[in-house]
Structure 1
Amino acid sequence: MWKLQVKNIAGIKSGTATFKEGTNVVQASNFQGKSSLLKAIQTVMGTSGVDGSHPLTEGQDEGFAELETDDGTYRVELKREGGSVVRSGNPYLTEETDVTCAHHFAFLGENNPVRAAVRDPTPDGDERLTELLMEPLDVDKIDAKIAQLQSERNSIESEIDEAERANKKLPKAQEEVTRLEKELEEARERKDELEDQVDEDSEQKELSSKLSDKRSRLNNTRNTIQKLESRIERKKSNLEDKQDELDELEIPSEPKINTDINEKEERIDELDLQIDLLRRVHSANKQVLDEDAVDLVTDVEHGIEGDNIVCWLSGDKTTADEIEERLDQLNEKRLELREEKSELEQEVDEFESKKRTIRSKKRKRDNLEDEIGNLKLDIQEDEQELKQARERVEDLQEDIDELESQYEEAQDDLNEELTEVRTEIGSLKTKLENAREKLERLDETAGKTDNLEDELETIKDEIVNLRERRNQKHEEVVDRFETAMKNMLKQFDPGFEMLRLDRSVTDDGSTKAFELVVLRDGRETSVANLSEGEVELIGFVTALAAHQAFDVDEIVPAILVDGVGQLAAEHIKGLTEFLEGASEMLITTAYPEAGDFGGHTLTPDEWDVVSNEEMRVV
């Protein structure tokens, strides 16, 4: 039960109202406060300012709406400050997504955005309807997560490409090492043959050996200088880029872990089973009571003071009220479990997202710091080595000039060839050492492939899960729409055979747009060709489909209906019957001439309302 107290909200200066479970009809003539009462409910719910200003009565500086429920008391105050109205207090709904769902799919007044979008025959109407049906999913945040994961995926794919390129280069690098080893062995064999052929005295052999060694060392040193100069230049450029990247990198703080994530995930799975079990138990037993089928499953003793029922499960005697109360307890338990599951899923999602972001950025930071440190150390070592190499070149050139002068007289063709071979051997040794180092680097890079591919698969799975989560909810909206439309066709027998909510998708399967398609006389037509009453019914069906798909009944236990003047009295009653099972409480407005609706009727006889001339809300 709800108890509402209102002061200076829309056309109500002061008044109170009580709402009961089931259908509540606010029945009065024009300007008696029917719509104002619904505005007061929306105010205390926290949705009044979503699509406009708050409904403080014209000429008043402050007002409030206070709602007392079985779970607590909620109060929202409105105050005029300057040229605008501000809100304060503790509304029933506080989460942005809950406010959005209630405003779009539960509070179905004349200006409800879903009904307005259905009325609009232009492409803007379909575009707005698409936005409304997608908004509760917070698609922008899901897309942002997907974009972040895609960026990580692209980075890892680049690393995999680098590893694969290294893997492709391995055979050629191995061939180069093998070739150099073979050439070195052949050069050594030629040297041995030449040394056997040359009949040199000990002094000549010594000079030849020294000269070959010096020339080889000079060539190697000059090659080393060129490599060092090029390598230092590349490393300095790379160092600057890495340092800029590190300076721009921001790492979020570590998320606080309240409990073990694995335990939460296990708890979520357990809650899924428990919620489904409670739902089936509640539904089956509730159906027995709602369809007056108790006699079918158990014995009933009819008495003056009431019926005694033998419980069809335990065999104990009870009453329908006691069974109903127990079923309500089961349903409350199911709702508690669903709320717990939702909180756990949100915690797990937030934790995993933060952890993934931090892990990625930390890995990148650590890699950058390691690379920067290694680059600085390498540059320092290379510069020192370059300095020493230049000094060695000068010393070697002086030694060679002197040795050549000493050896010139004794040198002949065989001696010259022997010297060249010895020089070649020294050069081959250096090339072989460099080739082996390159082979080792390529082998190390190629070895990262397996780990990177595992991480890539994990990220791809997360992207797929996010897209499926979004798309499944949109598919459910279409399914719910189809069911609600079939029920509406049975209830009202409108002038068309069928209505579809078509969902178009992008290449990746995500929702592109929703479109209403009408089938009349076996041919497709637009909503614009229907009567006003038929269009209004479609608006309610569309809102109800989203209401069920997004479980809005678990967010706010009431549906508000107003502004249905396009419908005949019997159709208004039919609409009430159509909607009353969708929520714990249905609150609708009606004129007195519409007759009895059943349920709980509210009249504004004791309300203090503004006059017809004063009825203007800001």
Structure 2
Amino acid sequence: MWNLEIENIGGIRLGEASISAGPNIIQASNFQGKSSLLAAIQTVMGTTGQFGEEHPLMEGADEGHVTLETEDATYKTTLERSVGVDGNTVSRSGETYLTDEQDQVAARLFAFLGEDNPVRAAVREKDQERLTELLKKPLETENIDLRIDNLRSDIVDIEEELDQAEKATEKLPPAQEEVTQLEDELEELKDRRDELEEKVDEDTEQRDLRNELTSKQSELDRKESQLERLQKQIARREEQLEEKKAELDDLEVPEELDLNTNIDEKQDRVEELELKIDLLGDLYRSNKAVLDENELALITDVDRSISGDTFDCFVCGQDTTEEDVEERLQAIKEKQQSLQDEKASLDEEINEIQERKQEIRSNRQKKEQLENKVKQLKVDIQEDERDVENLEDEIEELEGEVEELEAEYEEAEQEEEEHSSELKTVQQKIGTTENKLSRAKDKLDRLEDEASDRDEVEEELEEKKEELEELKQRREKKYDELVDQFDDAMDDIISTFAPGFDGAFLNKIKNPDDSVEFEINLAREGRTTDVENLSEGERELVGIVTALAGYRTFNVDERVPCILLDGIGQLAAEHIRHMIEYLENTAEILVTTAYPEAGTFDGQTISPDSWEVISNEEAAAP
């Protein structure tokens, strides 16, 4: 059992209601607060003000609230009006039943099925683009499309890294072979040196001088090889630096301040438009109802004559006719439509700005990464250049030492025998081979390091691809489930209500860019037909079925325990009963509206007789 206390919400000044499990029917005439009760429930649920509409604070009231008491907790939600330079704004505070954004969006679209339900409105207005946007909305709150785009970008980067690791892997065998060959050559040279040293009888001074010369020559070769590697490394890093700089220059990141200001202004304008649209709609419907029900005598004196009925305008008091009032009502309807078109255009602009803001945040993040990489490359290049300068100084010093030692050795060497000459050559070859071996081992170590990352990179790539595929499959599964749920619900509706069309199905259209659109297709007497050709009641049935498909696809029954239904006066009383029977097992609680002339219904009837509503106050006014 739910207990509601309502103050200054919609048309209800003060009111209380108890809602039980199963069907709850608010049964009353126009302007008695039926729709206002549903608005109060939506307020405490936390779903009002989501799609540009204003929170339903009573006109002229500065504050209103709804208190919901359930078996488990109590929630009190307050609406407050504030006046600023841009006019009146209404804000919500306090506790709401739903707190998660995705739950609120899903409930607003697929569980709260009033006449102003966005899905019903999109079907009614045959706005396929808007319908697609709304049906995909719960997935958008999870940023699935953006996450898919980011994953695709990550996969491209990882594939480039994997390509480098694979190239390093391909170079490993020849590098390993080169190391092995040089190790064998060095071992043979050392064996030959040992043999020659036994045969060469030279004094200690000449041997020491030769050993020192060989050592210096080996050190010089090593330093020169190290210098060459450093110079190549600098060249590679400078090339990377230029690439990153070019990528950074090509990356455009506009300022976001103007977007924030712009979107705030547009949202304020949307809220202002929503209030005006609601006001015009209320004005149109109330006056239209008086004319359609032929109840002018209730509110003014009617002078009936052969030439036509005249009466005092119930607004200004001047003489007028029903045709004049109809003409004014049509003007009000056209003005309302004009405001609705402006609001729809602003909603589209707001969505584009929000998408642009997301793009800006993504580009800023990428810019920051590029800037950090550029800074690091510059630091690495500077360190390498300092190492090059030090090596060049050391090489210059070693070259001088080697030149002096060679001169000393030539002076000390009088008669170089064949074995002594060969020994010197072998010693030099040993030094050269040791340097080659050192370079080959360095190269092998570098390739092994690069290749060792291959498994890790492959694993990361596989994880990213799996995550991407999982997101795509999840998105497609939801899209397919949405289509199936629509078809199942439509089959039930057709068999229960026997509308004037034979069938309807939700068509999922896959675009070349991997995006998806939804389109409702209808058939009548074996031919395709259009929503525009359906009766008003049939259009509302299709809209309700579409919302219910979303309800079941996104498991809205697990998010909110109730379904709200309003704006079904176009249906006959029998069909309203069928709809209540169809929905009562869908949710734990069903709250719907009905006129008294529709008769009795199974379930709890909620009467607004004890409520204080605006229409009662106006009727009591002198």
CA distance in 2, matches of 1:504, 1:206: 92
Offset of residue 486 of structure 1:
0.7
Determine whether 1:98 maps to 2:103. Answer: yes
**Contact 1:218-1:397 within 8 A present in 2 as well:** no
Q: How does 1:477-492 map to 2 (within 5 A)?
A: 477-492=482-497
Per the normalisation by structure 2, the TM-score is: 0.66
Name the structure 2 match of 1:474. Answer: 479
CA distance in 2, matches of 1:373, 1:433: 27
Structure 2 letter corresponding to 1:62? E
Name the structure 2 match of 1:547. Answer: 551
Query: CA distance change for structure 1 residues 216 and 432 in 2, over 3 Å: closer, same or farther?
Result: same
Structure 2 letter corresponding to 1:80? R
Offset of residue 108 of structure 1:
0.9
Name the structure 2 match of 1:135. Answer: 137
Q: How does 1:203-282 map to 2 (within 5 A)?
A: 214=213, 217-218=216-217, 221=220, 224-225=223-224, 227-228=226-227, 230-231=229-230, 234=233
Q: How does 1:206-605 map to 2 (within 5 A)?
A: 214=213, 217-218=216-217, 221=220, 224-225=223-224, 227-228=226-227, 230-231=229-230, 234=233, 387-404=393-410, 422-505=427-510, 512-605=516-609
Name the structure 2 match of 1:81. Answer: 82
CA distance in 1, matches of 2:166, 2:240: 24
**Contact 2:214-2:427 within 8 A present in 1 as well:** no
Name the structure 2 match of 1:58. Answer: 59
Determine whether 1:24 maps to 2:5. Answer: no
Q: Which runs of 5+ in 1 are unaligned?
A: 246-369
Per-residue deviation, residues 223-275 of structure 1 (Å, max 9, x unmatched): 62363265178369969999xx9xxxxxxxxxxxxxxxxxxxxxxxxxxxxxx
Name the structure 2 match of 1:14. Answer: 14
**Contact 1:220-1:427 within 8 A present in 2 as well:** no
Determine whether 1:165 maps to 2:171. Answer: no
Query: CA distance change for structure 1 residues 593 and 159 in 2, over 3 Å: closer, same or farther?
Result: same
Offset of residue 491 of structure 1:
0.8
Query: CA distance change for structure 1 residues 422 and 19 in 2, over 3 Å: closer, same or farther?
Result: closer
Aligned length: 483
CA distance in 1, matches of 2:205, 2:457: 57
Offset of residue 459 of structure 1:
4.1
CA distance in 2, matches of 1:160, 1:240: 20
Higher mean alpha-carbon deviation, 28-37 vs 170-179, is at 170-179
**Contact 2:112-2:564 within 8 A present in 1 as well:** yes
SS in 2 for 1:18: strand
**Contact 2:230-2:384 within 8 A present in 1 as well:** no
Higher mean alpha-carbon deviation, 382-391 vs 55-64, is at 382-391
SS in 2 for 1:78: strand
Query: CA distance change for structure 1 residues 528 and 190 in 2, over 3 Å: closer, same or farther?
Result: farther
SS in 2 for 1:391: helix
Higher mean alpha-carbon deviation, 516-525 vs 413-422, is at 413-422
Per-residue deviation, residues 397-444 of structure 1 (Å, max 9, x unmatched): 12223444665x857999878765654443233212321332243234
CA distance in 1, matches of 2:186, 2:194: 12
CA distance in 2, matches of 1:70, 1:192: 98
CA distance in 2, matches of 1:140, 1:239: 41
CA distance in 2, matches of 1:377, 1:130: 56
Name the structure 2 match of 1:333. Answer: none
Offset of residue 389 of structure 1:
3.7
Per-residue deviation, residues 543-574 of structure 1 (Å, max 9, x unmatched): 11111222222322221111223333333333
Per-residue deviation, residues 126-157 of structure 1 (Å, max 9, x unmatched): 22222222222345533455556556655554
Once the two structures are aligned, what percentage of the paired residues are identical?
Answer: 47
Name the structure 1 match of 2:5. Answer: 5
CA distance in 2, matches of 1:444, 1:241: 20
